[in-house]
Structures are given as C-alpha cells and as structure tokens.
Amino acid sequence: MKYIEFSSAKEKVSVIGAGTMRIAGFDEPTAEEFVKTALENGINFFDHADIYGGGRSEEVFGRLLAQQPQLREKMFIQSKCGIRQGFFDFSKEYILSAVDGILTRLHTDHIDSLLLHRPDALMEPEEVNEAFNELKAAGKVRHFGVSNMNRYQMDLLKSCVEEELCANQVQLSIVHTPLFDAGLNINMADNPAVMRDGGTLEYCRMNNMAIQTWSPLQVGYFAGTFLNDDRYPELNKLMDELCEKYSVGKDVIAYAWNLRYPAKMQVITGTSKPSRLADAAKAADLELTREEWYALYRAAGNRLP
C-alpha cells in the first residue's frame, strides 16, 4: 500500500479509501470482515457521510467500533455533512449538530476529517469558520476539507476559515473526465474546452490538498459502471490487454488510472465486497505509463486536440 501525507501534520493515509455508502445493510460479521479486510491490506482510510443509508452506514460501522474499540487507533475516519432533504446546509448550527450525530453513530469521540458535502449556495464562510473552530477546540474533528467544490468556492471559504482545507472529494473516472477535458483543450472552440470547474485539480495541487475521487468505476452521475459495458468496447478491449499485462482485474486498472495523476490522489472505492476491496489495494502499487494513461483516456471516447 502507498500512503500520502493528508495535511500539514503529515499524517499517513492510504491512497485507497474504503467508501461506506453501501454498508448500511451489513450484519455484524459482514461489517467486521469488510473492515478487517481493508486493514489487512493496508487500507486505513474509511470514508463516511451522514446521509449514507440515512445514517445507518455509520451506525453499522459504529457498532463494530463499540465492540472492538482497539480497531479505532488503526483507522483514519472521515465523514461528510451538509446535504439535507431538498437543500444544502453549511450553517454553524447544522454543522455542529451533524458532527454530534456522526460521533454518536460511530461510537467515537472524534473523527479525523470532516468534509463539507457539496457546495451550499447560501454558505456564509464566517459561520463555517466558527463551527470548525469550535469542533477543533472541542477535539471532535482533527482536520477539515470540502467535497465537489471549485477553486473559487474554496477561496471564498479560505477568506474566513482559519483551519487548513486538507482535501477535496470530486467525481473522477476514465469516462467522467470534465476535470481534465478543459485543460487538454485550451483555446479550442468545442465542448471539451468548456471550463466547468475553474481548474480544480490544479488548485488542489498548488494548495497541497488531497484529491479524493469518488465513483471511479461509474459512467456519469450513478449511471452504472463502464466495466464490460457494450457502450465502451474500445475501452474494455484495451483494459483487457492491460489486465493481462499487469495480472489484475479491470477495476484495478480503473483505480490506477485515477491514481496516476501526479498529485496527492486517493481513490474512494464504492464496493461492499471484501474481496473487491482487497483487489483494490493492488492499484496502489500499479503505475500506468504515460502512454497507457492517454490511451485509456482516448479509448473512453475522448479526443486530444
């Protein structure tokens, strides 16, 4: 397993993170197998959100921690808040109450990282700063970050927020590449050249933020996986060739493609199967060549200018 330094505190977190969105229905033995498989394969990063399973994903995870508290010291636990029924909410009152709920469900006295989950158009950075400061002073949250924000939204936050923004969690896969497209098509008069995010990847690199990628196997916004999908015959053919070359599965190739970007990258897996989580760990040690990275990008239907 490879690790990156998550913050200026230089804490080591695995480049593969175990996403917990799909564990809400786990019984206790299944939850234990999931967590211990991750840890045994060097994955120490667990990504939660208060909305996953309506809070049940955190409850399942928390029951395991309550029964086996010695596991907590081996983990870096992150959760997210801000999405409510029909709206987003970054108010101080909501952030504080959301974290209290997260801690209760997880049966822990602190989380290692809290991300603001999708931008709130009514965000008041002063309130966010007050919430972050109170959470840090109380020992409830150690680090902070954002999710799905562009550089201007992050700059707006940083105009008031005193705590370091350590990470940005964004959607990225071989077939969902708007974060790359505009940068590759500068000064072109076509759709890929449209700047949709304001240079988010470059901003995160310049500010030493971890880039956490979600839905690394997905087509668009939860439109299914591209693996073995008839809509992507050229991509799957090339992935088959690389699978044979590197003796891994297609999911590992897809994760390795995200990790090849030269920044502080993390892949947040969405699998609920321990065996696939163990396979995902292999991507940490697979570095695609420059030629292979671009070949996969083109095979997914993208063109270079």
The residues assigned a catalytic role are 52
Rounded Cα distance between 149 and 89, Å, is: 14
Question: Tokens at residue 248, please?
Answer: 């891994």
Helix, strand, or coil (residue 89)? coil
Rounded Cα distance between 15 and 2, Å, is: 6
Q: What sections of 178-232 are H helices per DSSP?
A: 178-184, 200-206
Residue type, 292: E
Rounded Cα distance between 274 and 278, Å, is: 6
Helix axes of 56-67 and 28-40: crossing angle, nearest 10 degrees: 80
Stated as kind and residue range, the H or E segment containing 239 is: helix 233-246
Question: Tokens at residue 168, please?
Answer: 């940005």
Rounded Cα distance between 301 and 177, Å, is: 11
Tell me the CA distances in angstroms from 25 to 30, 52, 61, 236, 257, one per residue in order: 9, 11, 11, 31, 30
Stated as kind and residue range, the H or E segment containing 43 is: none
